[in-house]
Homo-oligomer: A and B are copies of this chain.
């Protein structure tokens, strides 16, 4: 049987995959970044064992992308997101983070503490 730290880690992964694939592809601009980030936080915090979600939609990177293209908005993808989450499962706290590793938005399990 999996341990509580493994289950907490699994729950943390679910939240990350959910957040990313629910919202990837959303039309986004610097002006709409704030409301999108807030909705992502509150939506995922509904999920079981999810205590805190902190999303920053990177308006600086969106603005840079818009400079190089014709449309006035783009689609949400990993490089426009900084995310941190805290999951609590049966007394175990799992902390996770998404950050760019080179050109890849890596979802990382930062710490699992009983």
Contacts and interface: CB of A to CB of B under 8 A. Distances in A.
A103 interface: yes
A47 B29 CA distance: 10
Contact of A47 (B9, B10, B24, B27): B27
Contacts of A51: none
Interface residues of A, number: 59
Which of A22, A31, A70, A72: most chain B CB closer than 10 A? A22
Interface in A4-61: 5-7, 9-29, 31-32, 35-36, 38-48
Contact of A13 (B12, B72, B103): B12
16 contacts: A2-B109, A6-B6, A6-B109, A9-B10, A10-B12, A10-B109, A12-B13, A21-B25, A25-B25, A25-B75, A26-B43, A32-B43, A36-B42, A38-B39, A39-B39, A46-B73
